[in-house]
Structure 1
Amino acid sequence: MFARLLLLCLLGISCVNCEYLFKKLCSDEDPHQCEVYNVILDPCEDGKNFCTINKLKHYTLSIDFLPKFSANKLNMSMLIDDKLTDTFDGEVKVPSDACEVLTCPVDAQTRRLFDVRFKLGKSIAVGKYPVKMKLFNSENEKQSCCFTFNVKIKK
Structure 2
Amino acid sequence: MGQDGPRHSRRRQLLGRLRRRLLAYRSIEFLPSRISGGTRPDEECLLLVHIRKVVGQVRYRLCDQCEEGVITDVTLEERFRSTGLGTRALSHLRSRHPGVRWRSTLNLRSTRDLLRRMSIPATDAACLCSHRGEPGLRLPRP
Give the structure-1-normalised TM-score: 0.26
Hey, which of these two has a bigger chunk of strand by percent?
Answer: 1
Give the structure-2-normalised TM-score: 0.27
Hey, which of these two has a bigger chunk of helix by percent?
Answer: 2
Tell me: higher relative CO, structure 1 or 2? Use CA pairs within 8 A at least 6 residues apart.
Answer: 1
